[in-house]
Amino acid sequence: MSQIPEYWTQQVEAAKHAYTLAYAPYSQFHVGAAALTESGKVVNGCNVENASYGLTVCAERNCIANAVIQGEQNIKSIVVYTEQVKLTPPCGACRQVIAEFLSQEAEVMSTNHLGDYQLWSVAELLPDAFTPKSLLDI
């Protein structure tokens, strides 16, 4: 695989840091995420598991929630980092939340500790997404 493009470096490092903070005592599947906002801020998040498994929140959703808490609702791109050999794309719930805050053309990256990576557009991850534009009054 080729080296991660330099313009992703800050996001990848923030996602790696978030990975170290993940709370995953049940699955041992740690995930970090980092988003680049329209204003140039990089925010991150990690997965947080719960003994009531359905209440677990993924890194991507925590990352986006962190951005919103910081007053950032327009996100340009997001990185998902794991230490799995096989690259990990966002789950279905995360894809829907990503589609809410990123444009259909925005890039989503999955990367790992080996430096492997894959890029998708939001539209590739969730074609024909239900977005705010889908609501009748907007």
**Cβ 74 vs Cβ 46: under 8 Å:** no
- Amino acid in the structure at residue 32: G
60 is catalytic: yes
How many other C-beta atoms are found inside a 10 Å radius of the C-beta of residue 92? 8
Query: Angle, nearest 10°, between helix axes 92-101 and 59-69?
Result: 30
Radius of gyration of the chain (CA): 14
Nearest to 33 by CA among 57, 5, 59, 66: 59
Catalytic residue chosen out of the listed positions 13, 38, 60, 100:
60
Residues known to be catalytic: 60
